[in-house]
Chain A
Amino acid sequence: MMAGHARVTLECPEHLRWVQDATCVWVVDARSGAAHCLSGTDAAVWGWMTMAYPYDRLVELTGLLLNLPPAEAEQHLAALLQAWIAAGLLEIRAGAL
């Protein structure tokens, strides 16, 4: 794991609204009107993030959920976070708040 390195904070933009449905999490961008449906692992990660779980815990849970070793779980999580940043679901705040 990469604990101990410089850190940044990822947060959900203020104009996003979300709701937990039976089979997915809907995330709506009130500015652009885009709606995102997060299901499976994506929905689980979103839920863990709303519960403010720490990064190491997310890596551990992702590994358990997908039956992946820690390094692969971390890669999977990193790819997911980068995709969410690209889609506007998360934004980078400077430094660990």
Chain B
Amino acid sequence: MQTAIGDHAQTFITLDTFEARLDALDRSGIDEIRLIGGEPTLHPQFPALIERARRRGKHLVVFTHGLISERALAVLEAIPVDACTILVNTNASRHIDGPTPDEQARRRAVLLRLGARALPGFTIDTPGAALDFLLSLALETGCQPKIRLGLAQPILSGRNRYLHPKQYPLVGQPIARFAQAAAQYGITVELDCGFVRCMFSETELEMLHAAGVETAWRCSPILDVGIDGTIMHCFSLGSRVVLRPTDSATATDLRAALADQVRPYRAAGIYKACSSCSFKLTGACTGGCLSATLQRFRASPAPRLVVPEEVLGI
């Protein structure tokens, strides 16, 4: 379950609502709170939010672009290493062409300060994405010896830059090679949701496993909770697959309800071949990101036919 504490419209969660989110986590027996945004560190009461989550004994996971203010950085630095994970998206940028040298320098400085609290991540949105800089970043900043790789997925109700599923096979080999290189430095690559089995050849799959990469070809409800309490399947599906909050539902209930909403679409996958693929039929692969799958479904051209009435027995 991930809690939005701010959004792109600069609307922020109140402390009372945040307490209610913590109550919901307690009810579900979840001892971790994941803070998402927008950019969570921009919340005006960020220190108070962290303090309240810590008081409840929650392990904190903060998803950030890493261009953090001194005030928020000081708050994060004060958290014990084993009580938090700060996931730093290393290719977030205010600029359409990607991070500037200034942004990367600031991010490196932030990672150095956060040390083992930080876990760098990179979202692949183009087949030519350069990953090697992540190794030096991880080695030089003392962050966790892990690198989280994600595939940029289409946001169903919006427009964003994403990696088209047809491009997936083009990034399979670079990812396998990167994981192999990372393993030589004791760094493990973690794969986010939406990866599919068939984007890797058998050789590349062996390389991943030899490098200690856990492969799970999954897409399932993450439970992103918006500021207004709306519970979303995940960021990519946004407002298209949602639940209204209740006072009694647990995370397990909510996941089941969201899974029910999307079940009919799960028959298909991101490729035409997914629904007849043995990996999907056996449950080894979910067929990729549901948002990418839903993009394949269409309402038009709608079947239409003019028929003699007699055909229908009218």
Complex CA distance for A19 and B265, rounded to whole angstroms: 10
Binary interface encoding of chain B residues 287-301 relative to chain A, with 1 for a CB under 8 A from any of its CBs, else 0? 000000000111101
B263, B296, B306: residue with the most chain A Cβ atoms closer than 10 Å: B306
How many inter-chain contacts with C-beta < 8 Å in the A-B complex? 114
Query: Whole-angstrom distance between the alpha carbons of A7 and B309 in the complex?
Result: 5
Docked complex Cα distance between A5 and B312 (Å): 12
Contact B298 A19 (CB under 8 A): yes
Rounded to whole angstroms, the CA-CA distance of A79 and B261 in the bound complex is: 31
Please tell me if the beta carbons of A10 and B305 are within 8 angstroms of each other in the complex. yes
Task: Confirm or deny: B310 has a beta carbon within 8 angstroms of a beta carbon on chain A.
Answer: yes
Contact B275 A17 (CB under 8 A): no
Interface assignment of B267: CB less than 8 Å from any CB of chain A: yes
Q: Mark A1-24, 1 if CB is under 8 A from B, else 0.
A: 011011111111010111111111
Q: Interface digits, B270-307 against A, CB 8 Å rule (1 contact, 0 not)?
A: 00111110000000000000000000111101111111
Q: What is the bound-complex CA distance between A37 and B260, given in angstroms?
A: 18
Provide the bound-state CA to CA distance between A71 and B304, in Å: 22
Partner among A14, A20, A33 whose Cβ is within 8 Å of the Cβ of B264: A33
Q: Is the CB of A8 within 8 A of B272?
A: no
Q: How far is the CA of A3 from the CA of B296 in the complex (A)?
A: 36
In the complex, how many angstroms separate the beta carbon of A26 from the nearest chain B beta carbon?
A: 5
- Which of A5, A50, A97 contacts B303 (CB under 8 A)? A50
Nearest chain A residue, comparing its CB with the CB of B274? A21
Q: Known: A20-B272, A21-B272, A28-B297. Is A6-B309 also a contact (CB below 8 A)?
A: yes
Nearest-Cβ distance from residue B307 to partner chain A, whole angstroms: 5
By CB atoms of chain B within 10 A, which of A3, A22, A23, A97 has the most? A22
- Return chain A residues, CB-CB under 8 Å to B309: 5-8
Q: Which residues of B contact A29 (CB under 8 A)?
A: 264
B307 and A7: CB pair below 8 A? Answer: yes
CB neighbours of A12 from chain B (8 A) = 299, 302-304
The answer to whether A58 and B305 have CB atoms under 8 Å apart is yes
Q: Are B301 and A50 interface neighbours, CB within 8 A?
A: yes
Choice from B276, B297, B305, B308 contacting A17 with Cβ under 8 Å: B297
- CA–CA, A12 and B297, complex, Å: 14
- B313 in contact (CB, < 8 A): yes
Q: Does B311 contact A (CB under 8 A)?
A: yes
Interface size on A, residues (CB 8 A): 45
Given contacts A22-B276, A24-B275, contact A81 B301 (CB under 8 A): no
A55 adjacent to B298 (CB under 8 Å):
no
| Residues of A close to B274: CB separation below 8 A | 21
| B302 smallest CB distance to A (angstroms) | 4
Contacting residues, chain A, for B268 (C-beta < 8 A): 19, 21, 26
Chain A residues within 8 Å of B261, by CB? 33
Could you give 21 example pairs across A and B, Cβ below 8 Å?
Answer: A5-B310, A6-B309, A7-B307, A8-B306, A8-B309, A9-B305, A9-B307, A11-B303, A12-B299, A23-B275, A26-B267, A29-B264, A33-B260, A33-B263, A35-B263, A35-B267, A55-B307, A81-B307, A81-B312, A90-B303, A97-B306
Binding site for A on B (CB under 8 A): 260-261, 263-265, 267-268, 272-276, 296-299, 301-314
Residues of A within 8 A of B (CB): 2-3, 5-12, 14, 16-24, 26, 28-29, 33-35, 37, 46, 49-52, 54-55, 58, 74, 77-78, 81-82, 85, 90, 92, 96-97
Given contacts A17-B297, A22-B273, A51-B301, 19 further A-B contacts (CB under 8 A): A2-B308, A6-B309, A7-B307, A7-B308, A8-B309, A9-B307, A10-B304, A11-B304, A12-B302, A17-B299, A18-B297, A20-B272, A21-B272, A23-B276, A29-B264, A35-B263, A55-B306, A74-B311, A90-B305
